[in-house]
Amino acid sequence: MGQTITEKILARHCGKESVRPGELINARLDLIMCHDVTTTPAIDMLREHGINNVFDPDKIVIMPDHFVPNKDIQSAEMVRKIRLWAREMGIEAFYELGNHGVCHALLPEQGHVLPGMTIVGADSHTCTHGALGAFSTGIGSTDLAASLATGELWFRVPESLLFILRGKTAKHVYAKDIILEIIRRVGVDGARYKAMEFRGEAIDALSVEGRMTIANMAIEAGAKSGIMAPDQKTVDYVRDRTDADFEIVKSDEDARYEAVIEMDVSGLEPMVAFPHLPDNGRAVSSLSEKIPVDQVYIGSCTNGRIEDLRVAAGILNGRRVAKGTRCIVVPATTEIWKQANREGLLDSFMEAGATVSTPTCGACLGGHMGILANGERCISTTNRNFVGRMGHPGSEVYLASPATAAASAVTGYISDPRKMEG
Amino acid sequence: MKAHVYRRDHINTDEIIPARYLNMDREADLAKHAMEDIDKDFVHKVESGDVIVAGENFGCGSSREHAVWALRGAGITAVIADSFARIFYRNCINNGFLAIECKGIGKSIENGAEIAIDLKAGRLTDLSNAKAYDFTPFPEFAQNILDAGGLLPCLKVKL
């Protein structure tokens, strides 16, 4: 009987011919990603247990991003502790300020992610890297400490759900709208413990970046991982960044899925997920009243890549951010910032009355650089709209694509980007 | 052990410990802010040994293990829920902290009820009305981690 891409990758990393959903395995890890918030406790744990070495410094990548540039003394101490520890362990891949960025945008951009890998990261959105055909999942600090020490981790092989996305999206309908619609359909725990595998012509048509937006939000349906088989676009993306060898793994024709969900994206409209769960999606065109926004946030590991900024700048260029609305643009990595600058996108944002920050997770998780006050409302290109996610528990977050967010910045209320033509 | 019941699904780790406190990682510091955005009085109501009872998908969202430490630091010994989000569930086991999955429990127990848990038998009893609820005992590998007091002590044995 055939296997899914997820089962094949996991089998190859635990020395077996095949594995089955529900099986408990100990898998060898190819890549471990650490950031500022979850890594300091892991370092303490390792020291406390007398573990003074990591299994392989070349397979560990450290990307401080949540409270970077350091927002206060405590976060400065956290990053310093990680920096000194990384030196002591001989970990070269430490992305210091100036080469920094939001980890899930930076990790593939810098050529660390290869198809067929097993990747863990001490961050829930580590599922992003499945967009390149890797098994990639988020873990906590204790799992991180164990991974750093041994290069292995236990997993329960997940059941796979297959999402077949047919059709062609209309203008101003993006990867974000597709994943918000999928989460609306399956619910925030609809894929709990499972692997979400995506394929179909709508996936083929997306850039690797767009695919990352979709895989990034698999966790918002409760999934262990999101994954897509590599194609020529994936190979080109990886080859532009690294000479490292990799193997393309794909699902067998007769692979078994717990469920197959088919969806035609042709009729899909720009979506917005209302507070306080990502599955509260509605078509923007269906809103019966104007919903004013105090803040617009364009950035994050979901939608802070160059394509996202091009779309947003395309709408903001030559227009103005509405009076009474603030617009914050956060390019996800240093390279994206530089590219946006070269293309004049940053000028478009600044001339429109938006502000552009250095790469950071920042306000996406209510860290810094754009926190919301009580009663304030934000439309955001990020991935979570939980109570208090971006600041005061009395604030509200609406999730949308960069196009919808930019259109809303222009009008000052949640708006359909299709009405911004001309 | 007294039950603090939250009749809600999808209680997420942002609510259990908001990101504004993630510049700290000591259990005692985090404990002061546990569940603050759901229930401001939570830390004052909890006594050492109490449990939380909730609905589906408890602990969804961010992978922050700080959520487990905040609850444990506040005196909670177990979370009993209809279901758990996977990273939170792993984090609980890895810390030797009890996460007990018991279908339907979120709607069954009254707030403030006294609870008894028999881990080996996989049975939970509401002492206020003597009603019993069965749950699936932990699989052997998870029980081994719990018995060792968490994943790292377990590894140390292996290393």
Minimum-distance CB partner of B64 among A37, A143, A393:
A37
Q: What is the mean pLDDT of chain B?
A: 95
Which of helix, strand or coil describes residue A71?
Answer: coil
A-chain residues within 8 Å CB-CB of B159? 51, 149-150
Once rounded to an integer, what is the mean pLDDT over residues B69-78? 98
- State the residue for tokens 């507070």: A275
pLDDT at A422 over 80: no
Distance CA B106, CA B80 (A): 8
**Of all helices (H) and strands (E), which one includes residue A9?**
helix A5-12
The answer to whether residue A248 is domain-embedded is: no
HSE, CB side, 13 Å, CA atoms: give it for residue A106: 30
> What is the nearest CA distance from B158 to chain A, expressed in angstroms?
10
pLDDT at A139 over 60: yes
Whether B132 contacts B123, CB under 8 Å: yes
pLDDT at B154 over 90: no
pLDDT in tens, A334-377: 999 999 999 999 999 999 999 999 999 999 999 999 999 999 99
Task: Quote the domain boundaries for residue A289.
Answer: 271-420
Once rounded to an integer, what is the mean pLDDT over residues B130-155? 90
Whether A41 contacts B65, CB under 8 Å: yes
The neighbouring-strand residues paired with A260 are A162
Q: Are residues A93 and A237 in the same domain?
A: yes
Q: In the prediction, which pLDDT does B137 show?
A: 87
Minimum-distance CB partner of B22 among A37, A146, A389:
A37
Q: Are residues A195 and A290 in the same domain?
A: no
Q: In the prediction, which pLDDT does A345 show?
A: 98
pLDDT in tens, A386-397: 999 999 999 999
pLDDT at B157 over 70: no
**Of all helices (H) and strands (E), which one includes residue A306?**
helix A306-316
pLDDT in tens, A267-293: 999 999 999 999 999 999 999 999 999
pLDDT in tens, A8-45: 999 999 999 999 999 999 999 999 999 999 999 999 99
| B40–A contact, CB cutoff 8 A | no
Name the band, by pLDDT with cuts 50, 70 and 90, for residue B141. Answer: confident
Distance CA A62, CA A93 (A): 6
Please state the ipTM of this predicted complex.
Answer: 0.96
The answer to whether residue A387 is domain-embedded is: yes
> What is the nearest CA distance from A51 to chain B, expressed in angstroms?
9
Instruction: Output the pTM of the full model.
Output: 0.97
Kind of pairing between the strands at B98-101 and B78-81: parallel
Kind of pairing between the strands at B131-134 and B123-126: antiparallel
The answer to whether residue A168 is domain-embedded is: yes
HSE, CB side, 13 Å, CA atoms: give it for residue A220: 28
What are the boundaries of each domain within chain B?
3-158
Q: Are residues A155 and A281 in the same domain?
A: no
Q: What is the mean pLDDT of chain A?
A: 97
Residue type, A138: G
CATH label of the domain that carries residue A12: 3.30.499.10
Minimum-distance CB partner of A123 among B63, B91, B153:
B63
Q: In the prediction, which pLDDT does B159 show?
A: 58
Q: In the prediction, which pLDDT does B46 show?
A: 97
B3-158: CATH topology is Aconitase; domain 4 (3.20.19)
Name the band, by pLDDT with cuts 50, 70 and 90, for residue A201. Answer: very high
The tally of domains found in chain A comes to 2
